[in-house]
A = this chain, B = another copy of it.
Amino acid sequence: MEKNDLFFIREAIGEAKKASALGEVPVGCVLAIDGKIISRGHNLKESKKNALLHAEMVAIDKAIKKMKTPILPEATIYVTLEPCLMCAGAIFQTRIKRVVFGAFEPKFGVLGSILSLQNEERFNHRIEVTAGICRKEIEKMMKDFFRELRNKD
């Protein structure tokens, strides 16, 4: 864990809450360079009817456009939930140096759960991973969201 990790994960939780306010699975993300947030994203799959729009993809795309640079080698991405294959792939493609996430995603997560791609030596880029910051709070937020969703049915 590094200085400010807690601050940035809390910001990502704030983004996740924007998603749940829209009826989206609460996943949120911020991207930082040199200790400053350069973009934010939250899950927009349902609102935009597009399964590509995970929080990470939204934040990475915004950061690329803002920085006017195709890759983000100086960036750290803070996300409430362990990234899936697509988002981990986008992190590798954009050369993001570090990933900090809160809760593990046992069904889809590929940075510790079903796969641990950060240890895959055949990739040409290495990422540093820190997991578990605010894990309990994030797990509770997810559980509350799904419980409420079930109660609505």
Contact = CB atoms under 8 A, between A and B. Distances in A.
A32 interface: no
Interface residues of A, number: 36
A68 interface: yes
A84 interface: yes
**How many copies are assembled?**
2
A89 B69 CA distance: 23
A129 interface: no
A39 B88 CA distance: 25
A148 to B, nearest CB: 21
A50 interface: yes
Interface in A41-91: 45-46, 49-52, 54, 57, 60-61, 64-65, 68-71, 84-90
Interface of A: 45-46, 49-52, 54, 57, 60-61, 64-65, 68-71, 84-90, 92-95, 107-108, 114-115, 117, 120, 122-124
